Amino acid sequence: MADENKPAVRRRRKTPKWLRAPGRLLSGNTAFAAVAAWLGVTWLKLVFHTNKWVVEPADALDMAKPHLPAIATVWHGQHILLPVIPIGLKASVMISRSIDGEITARIAEAFGAKTIRASGGREKSRIIEKGGIKGFLEMLSALESGENVLQTADVPKGTPRRAGLGIIRLAKRSGRPIVPIAVASSRRWVLRKAWDRTTVNLPFGRSAICMGEPLYVAADAGEEALEDCRIALENELKRITARAYDLTGKPERPE
């Protein structure tokens, strides 16, 4: 009998054959990445300046300061507007080595963020290849140096909006808290075929940013305690994400 509590795994669609050759060509084209990043920066500035913003709690930055440096986290696919929001907190951001990662890294750097090029991924056998261990150590080093870091909570190409243990282990090892963040816009374009339902924020709407309760992970936490922390983070991110969309006046539609 199937386990009803086990989250459903969304199968990733294979890239069509007709798109693979152009995709490989673009993936090694730095000029394409530079142009795409410039367009991305321009778009984000337009969206930010033409949206009406609400922040919850209103004193979110003051509330976060006693917990810094911290591990800020969002859901994958819900992070696009984060680089342009002038919340006064700079962070090192973990970004994959893919072509879309290269574009994202250039955009993040344009807004003053530092980038760590690595990805954990679903397959443990590929963690070294993807730079996952190196990325973990670099993020740990940044935190120990007093810098904030930003990492998505769900594992790339895995189950969307299901927190992974990687970020929990980083909090345990560093002793720094995880601060959940959610950003939402009333006008948006959702890529429903993407594994994470990537959401592109649009101009001339209403946007909201919500901050959740900081989560600390004990240095002596065992596997059961780590799993409890993972579930707590997942629930808090789901709560503030729903709240952020509610504040825009256009809640998310259930899948």
Contacts of residue 50, defined as CB under 8 A and 6 or more positions apart, other chains included, come to 203, 204, 205
Tokens read off for 194: 């993407």
Whether residue 188 is contained in a domain is answered as yes
**What's residue 91's pLDDT?**
81
**What's residue 127's pLDDT?**
44
Q: Considering its fold, how many domains does the chain have in total?
A: 1
Cα separation, 106 vs 122, in Å, equals 25
Whether residue 39 is contained in a domain is answered as yes
Whether residue 12 is contained in a domain is answered as no
**What's residue 154's pLDDT?**
94
**What's residue 114's pLDDT?**
87
**What's residue 112's pLDDT?**
87
Helix 17-27 and helix 99-110, axial crossing angle in degrees, nearest 10: 40
Q: Which domain holds residue 63?
A: 27-247
Whether residue 78 is contained in a domain is answered as yes
Whether residue 195 is contained in a domain is answered as yes
Sign of CA dihedral 56, 93, 85, 49: negative
**What's residue 158's pLDDT?**
85
**What's residue 28's pLDDT?**
57
The pTM for the full model equals: 0.82
Look up residue 171 and give its amino acid. Answer: A
Q: Number of helices (H) and strands (E), helices first, in the chain? A: 7, 9
Q: Which of 219, 237, 243, 217 is nearest to 228 (CA)?
A: 217
Averaged over successive runs of 10 residues, the pLDDT of the chain (255 residues) comes to: 49 50 56 88 97 95 92 94 79 75 86 78 47 82 94 89 96 98 97 91 97 97 98 98 98 82
Using the CB atoms, write b or e for 103-141: b if 16+ within 10 Å: bbbbbbbbeebbbbbbbbbeeeeebeebbbeebbebbbe
**What's residue 32's pLDDT?**
81
Whether residue 157 is contained in a domain is answered as yes
Scan for tokens 């870091």, then name that residue.
149
Whether residue 161 is contained in a domain is answered as yes
Cα–Cα distances (Å) from 19 to 22, 25, 102, 245, in that order, read 6, 10, 19, 34
Cα separation, 184 vs 212, in Å, equals 14
Helices (H), the chain: 17-27, 30-50, 60-64, 99-110, 132-144, 166-174, 223-247
Cα separation, 207 vs 184, in Å, equals 6
Whether residue 54 is contained in a domain is answered as yes
